[in-house]
């Protein structure tokens, strides 16, 4: 692992809780409120970390393992992303499937933990989360297939690394479509506004928030951090597609990564303040649209 890749990974892991804060701050500013401090998630993590865990008597080890599995799978997924724009800490041909599988594993662990509580609210949230996932995953794979076709590389490290800049000159249209599609996926996968409202406080309408209702203390802190990390992973993915950083210097690429992460989360905030949440039945439609964009990108590449 190169020193530069390690530094970018640490930057991502440390800066992840910043992103929800920036999205929230953007939303607050655009709607004329002052809003919580940008560092709010760090404060929350600190506060939750010092609390005691309380477990319901109906839960089993599955409930306790959920947050840990989610965190580990997301950190492992981060290892496959070439965060410095050159090479990822870990790479092999076909690691894009491993990346998607690790994301799915994290979701699976959280959904199981939610179901383990036996609460009907959490079961409902879990079923919604999984319903959206069945539509989001094909779209993610279509995006990745388009990237494979555009760059001719089979690992995330390759397709988001140096060959991407060359691909932008050959197929700018396909790559823009893939980038837009990935941004829609980011919104849905991270329970952002058109799919879910992170600020909601009504159990019936929540999706992500309702699954974690029974978690508290350090467990909730781990989940909070993992959600921020997932947002950061997707933001890094979108940023890597739109801004190939292979030609930048070592320090410049890390700075560019941080700037891109901030920019993507600000864009999330703009979307959140500009549009209302979609009706539950419309979200699969949105995801099918994202998949259609990626398909169109693939067709353009094959033509």
284 binds other proteins (CB under 8 A): yes
Q: Are 151 and 233 in contact (CB under 8 A)?
A: no
Retrieve residue 39's tokens. 């560092």
Q: Are 11 and 253 in contact (CB under 8 A)?
A: no
213 binds other proteins (CB under 8 A): no
Q: Are 210 and 129 in contact (CB under 8 A)?
A: no
Pick the stretch among 54-62, 120-128, 193-201, 283-291 that binds other proteins (CB under 8 A): 283-291
Task: For the CB of residue 143, give the shortest distance to other proteins in the complex, in Å.
Answer: 14
Q: How many Cα atoms sit within 13 Å of 89 on the Cβ side?
A: 14
Q: How many residues bind other proteins (CB under 8 A)?
A: 17
293 binds other proteins (CB under 8 A): yes
Q: Which of 7, 15, 101, 288 binds other proteins (CB under 8 A)?
A: 288
Task: For the CB of residue 145, give the shortest distance to other proteins in the complex, in Å.
Answer: 13
55 binds other proteins (CB under 8 A): no
Q: Are 83 and 157 in contact (CB under 8 A)?
A: no
Phi, psi of 289 (to 5 degrees): -60, -45
Query: What's the CA gap between 251 and 254, in Å, rounded?
Result: 5
Q: Which is nearer to other proteins, 2 or 285 (CB)?
A: 285
Contacts of 21 (CB under 8 A, 6+ apart): 36, 37, 38, 39, 40, 41, 42
Task: For the CB of residue 303, give the shortest distance to other proteins in the complex, in Å.
Answer: 4
138 binds other proteins (CB under 8 A): no
Pick the stretch among 18-26, 77-85, 250-258, 281-289 that binds other proteins (CB under 8 A): 281-289
- DSSP-assigned states of every residue in 228-259: HHHHHHHHHHHHHHHS--TTS-HHHHHHHHHH
194 binds other proteins (CB under 8 A): no
9 binds other proteins (CB under 8 A): no
143 binds other proteins (CB under 8 A): no
Q: Which of 259, 234, 244, 233 is nearest to 86 (CA)?
A: 244
204 binds other proteins (CB under 8 A): no
**Residue numbers 154-173 binding other proteins by CB under 8 A:** 172-173
What are the residues binding other proteins (CB under 8 A)? Answer: 172-173, 177, 282, 284-285, 288-289, 291-293, 295-296, 299-300, 302-303
């Amino acid at each position: 692992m190169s020193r530069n890749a390690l530094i970018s990974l640490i930057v991502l892991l440390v800066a992840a809780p910043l992103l929800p804060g920036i999205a929230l701050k953007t939303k607050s500013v655009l709607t004329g409120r002052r809003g919580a401090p940008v560092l709010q998630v760090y404060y929350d993590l600190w506060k939750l970390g010092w609390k005691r865990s309380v477990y319901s008597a109906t839960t089993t080890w599955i409930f306790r393992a959920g947050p840990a599995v989610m965190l580990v799978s997301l950190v492992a997924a981060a290892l496959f992303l070439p965060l410095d724009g050159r090479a990822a800490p870990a790479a092999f041909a076909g690691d894009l499937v491993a990346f998607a599988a690790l994301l799915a594993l994290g979701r699976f662990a959280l959904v199981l933990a939610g179901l383990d509580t036996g609460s009907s609210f959490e079961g409902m949230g879990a079923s919604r989360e999984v319903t959206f996932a069945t539509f989001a995953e094909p779209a993610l794979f279509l995006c990745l297939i388009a990237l494979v076709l555009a760059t001719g590389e089979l690992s995330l490290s390759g397709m988001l690394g140096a060959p991407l800049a060359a691909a932008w000159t050959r197929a700018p249209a396909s790559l823009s479509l893939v980038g837009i599609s990935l941004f829609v996926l980011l919104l849905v996968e991270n329970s952002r506004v058109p799919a879910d409202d992170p600020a909601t406080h009504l159990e019936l309408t929540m999706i992500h928030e309702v699954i974690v209702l029974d978690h508290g203390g350090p467990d909730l802190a781990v989940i909070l951090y993992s959600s921020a990390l997932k947002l950061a992973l997707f933001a890094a993915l979108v940023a890597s597609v739109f801004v190939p950083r292979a030609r930048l210097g070592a320090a410049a690429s890390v700075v560019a990564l941080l700037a891109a992460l901030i920019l993507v989360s600000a864009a999330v905030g703009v979307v959140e303040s500009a549009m209302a949440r979609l009706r539950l039945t419309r979200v699969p439609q949105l995801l099918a649209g994202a998949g259609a964009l990626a398909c169109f990108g693939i067709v353009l590449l094959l033509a």
